A and B are shown apart, each in its own frame.
Chain A
Amino acid sequence: MATPPNMSAADFADGLSAMRSAVGADWVFDQPADLNTYRDFYSVLWGEPEEKVASAAVAPANVEEVQQVVRIANERRIPIYPISTGRNLGYGGSAPVLSGSVVLDLKRMNRVIEVNEDNCSCLVEPGVSFFDMYRHLQESGSKLMMSVPDPGWGSLVGNALDSGGGYTVQGYRGHFEAVCGIEAVMADGELFRTGMGALPGSETWQQYRMGIGPCMDGLFRQSTLGVVTKMGFWMFPRPEAWLSASVSVMRYEDLEELVRIANELEYGNIFNGMPGFSSPVLTQGNPIVMAMVPDAAEMNRMVEESGIPAWSFSPNFYGPEKVIRAQWEYVQSRFAHIPGVRFAEQSFVDLPISAEDMERIHKPRFGIPSLEIFNVGSRGYGDFNPSDGHIWFSAVIPRSGKGIIDANRVMRRECERLGLDLFMFAPAVTCWTRSFVLFAAVPVYKDPARNQHLREAVREIIDICAEHGWGEYRCPPAFMDDVMGAYSFGDHKLRRVNEAIKDALDPNGILSAGRYGVWPKHLREGRGA
């Protein structure tokens, strides 16, 4: 049996025995067949000695059991690694960052505690999946819409904690931005509530995020500081209709103006849905892979010969039909001066969604969870060599035309030089309102030699992006130290402040050791190695 680092088998067995007493013997897993299901199935270290694996898993059913397990771990210095539903594939799945940690599996805590129709909010436990929540909302006749990621099999809480994004309305689709109120078990086993949750008797926990003093919600984002056991979210009242449109321009040079005006319109609330930015002429071969942006003359020649636009911007509108049609009309007026600009209404959907519309829509745009996106791996978007999984490379880049072109060229050129395959490449994703995030899906194989090459190449890409001022917002465990290392302002003050907070709140270093490059004091020098 694997044991946590620097712990005797006897001490670990004693700890697991105490955890069995806390949660019941059926909910402590330490046999290989069960632990196999906790491996990161898309790990870039699969099958290698360095693969990050759990020594055991413990699945409490409620907050009190979580507190007991944390106290047991803290007394014995057993490293524990909380997961919500464990579906963070491409970013680590259900495996710990520190090998030998005990995974604290919160899947059984799956209560929707409240959906408040008047406040347009909810309060949920970490085991509630987007599918669970959608069923709950539908069966209860709710008039609220939630924002879901794609794929949508994960946890509302876990996805928000890792800053996941959806496709719906600004203020909601950056999932951590929609959080209002967190309850967490701290390393000492005590219960902590953020915002108005700290005021006994308050009815405003899901209304006012800040409470008093520093806003503490951020302590728990991608963190090593607590076990989140409840989270509140703001939700969007279901709109009457949705309209998707496109603005297409025919010259390389028009991108800067396209993005500049689109930004102004979004920040001014003229449209509220997630916009799209792409290059129709550079995605002819595959809609989810943008080719290298050529020089201006070459791109303009391609456009002229094919008649396919150079760039497109797709605004999306949620609201009453009258309002969103007027908004779309205004949007068009703002781009009318661009020579050759084309406008098109792409899709209009009345809500509630009819059976016919359900067959044609992209479900996550309407807060409906789906796993259909996984058909990327079933040759749904081109016959690339099927892989054993993938990781995401997700870098925050400037929200400008130059940002798109620079990031496209650098990634395309460097990935080709390094022999790094990409089967999805979108340089301007807008789940988070004020920046672009460059998304690249890198295929992973259960082949150590290929994965070793992949790891070296990705580390080089991280460094190259950092030289341009681009940093990842989220990454797989194998690269967390590298990515945190790139945020180096002030001699790595960000990491050092994180470490100081870590030492104060979790002095024994039991929680999520190594997550996003923050290690407890006793593992800091070797970074868990």
Chain B
Amino acid sequence: MRLLLASAALLAAGVGAVAAQDAVRTGPAAPELAEGKAVYAHWCAPCHAAEPSLPGTMSLAAKYDGSDIPAALEDRTDLSAPVIGVFVRNGVAWMPPFRPTEISDAELAQLSAYLTAPLEDRGAHTPLLADEMVQLHGGSSE
């Protein structure tokens, strides 16, 4: 039974990975996801944005090495709100928990909505703040 479940999980992950490659990821997120994406940008992206050298992304690449599960959280299609809540409120490895004064329960729900939405609704990958500011100033940071 355990083997069967593991196979099912891998299959699901494989489907997610294919979807991640195929989905169009440009522009803003769907309006109802904008607040959740902003929470992600502020609290998660500095470690988990889609750049291989970032600590969260690098760590998940090691964790899921050999599987089809993507390292960048924004490409995941296998997350659920309870799972996101567990990691945000309990931390893992070097990632500490986030307090309700940092990410409120309402913001956690918005974040979960964003990270569980269909990929095509999430818009472009979230940039790091430094890169966002470079874009804001037309190619250089003020």
Q: Which residues of A contact B (CB under 8 A)?
A: 27, 29, 33-34, 36-39, 41-42, 57, 59, 85-87, 89, 93-94, 105, 107-108, 131, 134-135, 137-139, 141-143, 153, 351-355, 358, 363, 366, 368-380, 386-390
**A373 vs B47: C-alpha distance when bound (angstroms):** 10
**A115 vs B47: C-alpha distance when bound (angstroms):** 28
Which of the residues B42, B53, B96, B98 comes within 8 Å of A375, measured between beta carbons? B53
**A134 vs B55: C-alpha distance when bound (angstroms):** 21
**A33 vs B62: C-alpha distance when bound (angstroms):** 29
Name the A residues within 8 Å of B99 (CB-CB).
34, 37-38, 57, 86, 94, 105, 107
Question: Are the CB atoms of B142 and A141 closer together than 8 Å?
Answer: yes
Given contacts A141-B142, A377-B55, contact A37 B134 (CB under 8 A): no
Provide 15 A-B residue pairs closer than 8 Å at the C-beta atoms, listed in order of the A residue: A37-B97, A37-B98, A57-B101, A137-B142, A139-B133, A139-B136, A153-B46, A352-B137, A355-B140, A368-B130, A375-B54, A375-B58, A378-B55, A378-B58, A380-B55
Name the B residues within 8 Å of A379 (CB-CB).
58, 62
B141 is an interface residue with CB less than 8 A from chain A? yes
Minimum CB–CB distance for B51 against chain A, Å: 9
Name the B residues within 8 Å of A139 (CB-CB).
133, 136
Name the B residues within 8 Å of A131 (CB-CB).
42, 46, 129
Q: Which residues of B contact A (CB under 8 A)?
A: 42, 46-47, 53-56, 58-59, 62, 89-91, 93-94, 96-102, 128-131, 133-137, 139-142
Name the B residues within 8 Å of A355 (CB-CB).
131, 134-135, 139-140
**A134 vs B137: C-alpha distance when bound (angstroms):** 14
Question: Are the CB atoms of B47 and A371 closer together than 8 Å?
Answer: yes
Given contacts A36-B89, A108-B101, contact A135 B129 (CB under 8 A): yes
Which of the residues B62, B97, B101, B137 comes within 8 Å of A107, measured between beta carbons? B101
Question: Are the CB atoms of B137 and A375 closer together than 8 Å?
Answer: no
**A355 vs B58: C-alpha distance when bound (angstroms):** 22
Top 7 nearest A-B pairs (CB, nearest first) are A374-B55, A41-B96, A378-B58, A378-B59, A352-B140, A107-B101, A377-B94
Given contacts A354-B139, A372-B54, contact A36 B90 (CB under 8 A): yes
Minimum CB–CB distance for A504 against chain B, Å: 32
Question: Are the CB atoms of A374 and B94 closer together than 8 Å?
Answer: yes
**A389 vs B96: C-alpha distance when bound (angstroms):** 9
Question: Are the CB atoms of A372 and B141 closer together than 8 Å?
Answer: no
**A358 vs B139: C-alpha distance when bound (angstroms):** 10
Minimum CB–CB distance for A371 against chain B, Å: 4
**A37 vs B136: C-alpha distance when bound (angstroms):** 34
Which of the residues A141, A353, A390 comes within 8 Å of B140, measured between beta carbons? A353
Which residue of B has the minimal Cβ distance to A380?
B58
Name the B residues within 8 Å of A387 (CB-CB).
94
Minimum CB–CB distance for B70 against chain A, Å: 16
Which residue of A has the minimal Cβ distance to B97?
A37
Question: Are the CB atoms of B133 and A134 closer together than 8 Å?
Answer: yes
**A380 vs B89: C-alpha distance when bound (angstroms):** 25
Name the B residues within 8 Å of A27 (CB-CB).
101
Name the A residues within 8 Å of B130 (CB-CB).
134, 358, 363, 368, 370
**A373 vs B130: C-alpha distance when bound (angstroms):** 15
Name the B residues within 8 Å of A87 (CB-CB).
96
Name the A residues within 8 Å of B97 (CB-CB).
36-37, 39, 41
Q: A107-B102, A354-B139 are in contact. List 9 more A-B contacts (CB 8 A).
A: A34-B100, A41-B97, A131-B46, A141-B142, A143-B142, A353-B140, A355-B131, A375-B58, A377-B55
**A374 vs B44: C-alpha distance when bound (angstroms):** 13
Question: Are the CB atoms of A378 and B62 closer together than 8 Å?
Answer: yes
Which residue of A has the minimal Cβ distance to B85?
A33
Given contacts A371-B47, A375-B58, A379-B58, contact A93 B131 (CB under 8 A): no
Minimum CB–CB distance for B32 against chain A, Å: 24
Question: Are the CB atoms of B142 and A380 closer together than 8 Å?
Answer: no
**A108 vs B90: C-alpha distance when bound (angstroms):** 21
Name the A residues within 8 Å of B96 (CB-CB).
41-42, 87, 89, 93
**A34 vs B133: C-alpha distance when bound (angstroms):** 34
**A141 vs B129: C-alpha distance when bound (angstroms):** 15
Q: Which of A36, A351, A358 has the most CB of B within 10 A?
A: A358
Question: Are the CB atoms of A59 and B101 closer together than 8 Å?
Answer: yes
Question: Are the CB atoms of A135 and B133 closer together than 8 Å?
Answer: yes
Question: Are the CB atoms of B46 and A370 closer together than 8 Å?
Answer: yes
Question: Are the CB atoms of B46 and A138 closer together than 8 Å?
Answer: no
Name the B residues within 8 Å of A370 (CB-CB).
46, 128, 130
Minimum CB–CB distance for A388 against chain B, Å: 7
Minimum CB–CB distance for B43 against chain A, Å: 9
Name the A residues within 8 Å of B89 (CB-CB).
33, 36-37
Which residue of A has the minimal Cβ distance to B133?
A138
Which of the residues B55, B62, B135, B137 comes within 8 Å of A371, measured between beta carbons? B55
